[in-house]
Amino acid sequence: MANVLFAGVGGQGVVTASDLLAHAALRAGWNVKKAETHGMAQRGGSVVTHVRVSPDQPVHSPLIPHGCADYLIALELLEGVRTLWMLAPGGQVIADARRIPPITVTSGAATYPDGLEDQLRSRGRVLPATEEATRMGDARAANALLLGALGRDLGLPEDAWQSAFAAVLNPKALDLNWRTFLKGASGR
């Protein structure tokens, strides 16, 4: 079983990214459970989703137990560090290097913490996903790059991912997101 936790802020596509993983696993014939926590997620608040997938074991609960996430997909650095406690001892981080300052920072009441990349990198990979997606045509495709990196680790078939992308994404965004996914899967 693979326990995948997604963390980011409202407006980043956290739920869509987790939908893509869930759809890809279903299309591959895997067992899947998914749960979302929105909280104060409207544009800027924390969003966390749990996705549990298995090619052969039943998945009984959608929630990942504390300290048992095999993967933490962090769409923003601070949100990644905030949820790092959910990662299993051997779990892996796949994070975007993107910073989205919370309202306390933009209002001047706090400063964005230093050293977040190092904390996440000590447990996995921090990728320039937003930067790369922008170069490829649209920053909103950053999550596809992170999913590509995850897909390489999970071993879900490429055709299952492609089918999931076609089912979940707007047709206008499909080509760019698919190319960005393949870039993430290639590891280059």
Chain segment 114-134, per-residue pLDDT in tens: 999 999 999 999 999 999 999
Straight-line distance from the first to the last Cα atom of the chain, in angstroms, rounded to the nearest whole number: 27
Q: How high is the pLDDT of residue 35?
A: 95
DSSP 36-71: EE-SS-TTSSEEEEEEEEESSS----SSPPTT-EEE
Mean pLDDT of 173-182: 97
Q: What is the pLDDT confidence band of residue 39, given thresholds at 50, 70 and 90?
A: low
Mean pLDDT of 33-42: 74
Ranking 8-12, 79-83, 139-143 by mean pLDDT, the lowest is: 8-12
Q: CA 106 to CA 158: how far, in whole Å?
A: 40
Pick from 91, 86, 35: nearest CA to 59: 35
Mean pLDDT of 70-95: 97
Residue 28 near residue 154, CB atoms below 8 Å: no
pTM of the model: 0.94
Chain segment 42-65, per-residue pLDDT in tens: 566 889 999 999 999 999 999 999
- E-only strand ranges, 55-164: 69-74, 87-96, 124-127
Is the pLDDT reported for residue 41 higher than 60? no
Q: How high is the pLDDT of residue 10?
A: 86
Mean pLDDT of 32-50: 80
Q: What is the pLDDT confidence band of residue 6, given thresholds at 50, 70 and 90?
A: very high
Class of domain 2-186: alpha beta
Q: What is the pLDDT confidence band of residue 188, given thresholds at 50, 70 and 90?
A: low
Structural domain spans, the chain: 2-186
